[in-house]
Structure 1
Amino acid sequence: MLIGVPAEIKNNEDRVAITPAGVLELVKLGHRVLIQSNAGFGSGFEDKEYISVGAEIVPTIEDVYARAEMVLKVKEPIAQEYDLVREGQLLFTYFHFASSEPLTKAMIKSKAVCLAYETVESADGSLPLLIPMSEVAGRMSIQEGAKYLEKPLKGKGILLGGVPGTPRGKVLVLGGGIVGTQAAKMAAGLGANVIIMDISLKRLRYLADIMPANVTTMMSNQHNIETAIKEADLIVGAVLIPGAKAPHLIKRDMLKKMRPGTVLVDVAVDQGGCIETCTPTTHEAPTFIIDDIVHYCVANMPGAVPYTSTLALTNATLPYVLELANKGWQKATEESLALKKGLNIVNGEIVHKGVAEAFA
């Protein structure tokens, strides 16, 4: 199979969809790999490293889309890529269709095969291609939130861990999945007092067992959320419904219950966000303020640490890339239920329930 890897052109996105090590595994099996020039530069991989393992370097993104049977990406195609996607071409990347009707319509129009990392699902219900970036984003949510709590950045002026003789910062994490778990661990490690909420009692029991003493588990419901936000210094939105829009757990009128300078980090923003007032931002302009509340809503948080993120992502995606390359997407999805669940749009038709429901 001829596999193409374009450079990511989304704002401040320096990740790349495959490492030289991954290219070598494909080439060993007889596949050909096209890498757009400098696609790996932001992640620390130079063209000469790809060439040394058998990749062909091509100068433009148009070359990649025009020739490749399967296009590997990190983030969804943006508007200037829509017309480059060809009928029958396989795109394997994060799509998050439910949060973007223009993208969904463009991929329907293209009649391409859109296989989304975020809905590939293992037999145990886990999302193996979402987990590594969720781990990165969860840890980064605390790193970024702690920074924006600084007074020059319009936060409360609070050090999350405090120092002897001062109170610790208070962190509220909404959602006890991968993102929420990693966020709670990081916040606890910094010394903050942490509340983590989830709707699953089974999950809360697990979290209570593994978390340190400065983490409190709590059932997620409107009353508990409205009570906790009054005292929280940093609130992390970490709710995910695979393939579908995230529910709004914090509404606009609830901002008035928070103290000025509270920081909101909505990790679910690429799925529509679980905080009503959050809209996607970029690494260049990551925050905005509504009602004296700082909102951090960067849709590609792991893009800020591309070396770590690229290694983590490609460790997870490569086995599936090899399966698709070796068998073709039709046979691969017939034989693998995990990959079949990754299909979102096929030849102009939405085939994923969550995406279909998002647009009625």
Structure 2
Amino acid sequence: HVLFAYLHFDENIKPANITRIVDRGLTAIAYEWVQADSHLPLLEPMSELTGAVFARKAMALLMECKGHLGGSYMPHWPAASAMVIGAGHIGANAINVLIQNKLKVMIVDKNPNTLISRLSKYIPSASLGAADMEAIYFDEDDPAGSCSRIRQRLGQCDIVICSAVRRKTLPKEICPYLITSGELSLMSANSIMCDATACDKDLIESCVSSESLTYTYTEHNVIHYNCDHIPALVPHSSTRILTEATFPYVEMLAGGLREALSKNAPLAGAVMCHRGFLTHEYSAVKKGMDHVSLCDLMPAAAVRQPELQGAAHV
């Protein structure tokens, strides 16, 4: 049996649940680890959708919880202010929605000199030119100063969307959080805090992901929404996008598992478990679990397991 789906063994899933899947003896292949030509073709479309839907959801919560319309839709109507942390696939698409709805947008990014060119992939030049937008430089060599720049602007933020994950170059020993729980008090009551990365207490101390599409919680008077599978809010759109991306790989697998893995390194590198053994080294190390190389179980497999780079990083 073959399980081909989003699995995220390296994220919030408990080791015991990984073991339950492994012990079934099936071959599990993770969408998010299929890499081709330095891209993640099955993760990136959902990341792009995630950014857009998180921005829409944050704006809806702002209306419901703070009574703020959000965008500057009418003359002299004050726009809400949003901060987006990270401008990768998730962040850029969140920024697009916020700009198109005429919010003021602050963007925390470590490469501000290339920000406009990266955003232009998703945002029309006319909209970018008219946007009320500020880039906030995140300097990994000066995390304290970078966090100070974020902290100084929190009081202006009606919405914060974190779309970045922590790199190895920014360990918690050097930078525990970009925004601490205590700093939420700088934001006005009923402002909105979202983490779009499905990571718990990673860069935002108060953010913990949830399987619920509707669950919110309040900390220091700030509304939190951190759904870990938000594309499910738009099932028609997400199904169409994902089907178009996955179908070529499904065709390969339909021709036989061994042949597909022997001829396709991106698929082989995404195998998480096979014949009762955990095979994905990165996930195993992160979870402190034993693993066996897929090459030892299937010598013909064209295994390549690169470091995951799907989400934006700070």
Q: Is the 8 A contact 1:176 1:196 kept in 2?
A: yes
**Shift in Å, 1:113:** 1.7
Q: 1:353 to 1:198 in 2, by over 3 A?
A: farther
Q: How does 1:76-155 map to 2 (within 5 A)?
A: 89-97=1-9, 98-101=11-14, 102-123=16-37, 125-150=38-63, 153-155=64-66
Residue of structure 2 in register with 1:218 after alignment: 136
Identify which of structures 1 and 2 has the higher relative contact order when contacts are C-alpha pairs closer than 8 Å and 6+ apart.
Answer: 2
Q: From 140, 152, 156, give the equivalent of 1:231.
A: 156
Runs of 4+ residues over 6 Å off in structure 1: none
Q: 1:249 to 1:94 in 2, by over 3 A?
A: farther
Residue of structure 2 in register with 1:359 after alignment: 287
Residue of structure 2 in register with 1:195 after alignment: 106
3-state SS of paired residue (2:135) = strand
Residue of structure 2 in register with 1:312 after alignment: 241
**Shift in Å, 1:169:** 1.0
Residue of structure 2 in register with 1:57 after alignment: none
Find out whether 1:169 has 2:80 as its counterpart. Answer: yes
3-state SS of paired residue (1:114) = strand
Residue of structure 2 in register with 1:11 after alignment: none
Find out whether 1:159 has 2:69 as its counterpart. Answer: yes
Q: Is the 8 A contact 2:86 2:107 kept in 1?
A: yes
Q: From 333, 341, 345, give the equivalent of 2:273.
A: 345
Greater shift after overlay, 299-308 or 309-318?
Answer: 299-308
**Shift in Å, 1:202:** 6.5
Rounded Cα–Cα distance in structure 2 between residues aligned with 1:112 and 1:295: 37
Identity %, equivalent residues: 25
Give, as a single letter, the amino acid of the residue that structure 1 aligns with 2:5: T
Rounded Cα–Cα distance in structure 2 between residues aligned with 1:257 and 1:283: 27
Q: How does 1:284-303 map to 2 (within 5 A)?
A: 285-303=214-232
**Shift in Å, 1:203:** 4.8
Rounded Cα–Cα distance in structure 2 between residues aligned with 1:281 and 1:138: 17
Rounded Cα–Cα distance in structure 2 between residues aligned with 1:241 and 1:314: 29
Q: 1:170 to 1:106 in 2, by over 3 A?
A: same
Q: From 310, 316, 323, give the equivalent of 2:252.
A: 323
What CA deviation, in whole Å up to 9, does each residue of 1:126-154 have, x standing for no partner?
2111122112211111111011112xx33
3-state SS of paired residue (2:108) = strand
What CA deviation, in whole Å up to 9, does each residue of 1:155-192 have, x standing for no partner?
3x322213322321111111111110100000000001
Rounded Cα–Cα distance in structure 2 between residues aligned with 1:115 and 1:265: 29
Which 5+ residue runs of structure 1 have no aligned equivalent?
Answer: 1-88
Rounded Cα–Cα distance in structure 2 between residues aligned with 1:224 and 1:140: 27
Give, as a single letter, the amino acid of the residue that structure 1 aligns with 2:41: P
Rounded Cα–Cα distance in structure 2 between residues aligned with 1:128 and 1:249: 29
Q: 1:259 to 1:304 in 2, by over 3 A?
A: same
Give, as a single letter, the amino acid of the residue that structure 2 aligns with 1:136: L
Find out whether 1:181 has 2:92 as its counterpart. Answer: yes
Q: TM-score, normalised by structure 2?
A: 0.75
3-state SS of paired residue (2:197) = helix
Rounded Cα–Cα distance in structure 2 between residues aligned with 1:339 and 1:185: 32
**Shift in Å, 1:286:** 2.3
> Across the two proteins, how many residue pairs are aligned to each other?
264
Q: 1:239 to 1:326 in 2, by over 3 A?
A: same
Rounded Cα–Cα distance in structure 1 between residues aligned with 2:225 and 2:149: 23
